[in-house]
Amino acid sequence: MKLIANEYEPNEIFKIIRERTNLTQEELGKSMNKKGRSWVKFIENGKNRFYFNDFLEILKKNNIKMILEKDN
């Protein structure tokens, strides 16, 4: 999966990653030791923000690389 993050809002990226890893909101929330589905639901709906450390943990747990690349 290749994703150009600049084209999405943070909550959209969060949801795309969850969907591409075939996790339900409940599964992702529990894997992060959060309040289950509600934590994920609020983030995906743009009603809550997440810490970058949480984002990095999700990537690491699901073997996803994040590559930053400068445009020429």
Task: List pLDDT tens digits, range 2-61.
Answer: 888 889 999 999 999 999 999 999 999 998 898 779 999 999 999 998 899 999 999 999
Break the chain into its structural domains and give their ranges: 9-61
Check pLDDT > 80 for residue 1. no
According to the model, what pLDDT value does residue 8 have? Answer: 93
31 contacts 23 by C-beta, under 8 angstroms: yes
- Backbone φ and ψ for 58, nearest 5 degrees, come out as -60, -45
Q: What fold characterizes domain 9-61?
A: 434 Repressor (Amino-terminal Domain) (1.10.260)
With residue 60 as reference, give the H or E element that holds it: helix 52-61
Q: Three-state SS for 26?
A: helix
If you ran DSSP here, which 8-state letter would residue 62 be given?
T
Looking up tokens 């999700």, which residue turns up?
A: 58
Asked whether the whole model's pTM tops 0.85, one would answer no
According to the model, what pLDDT value does residue 41 have? Answer: 95
13 contacts 56 by C-beta, under 8 angstroms: no
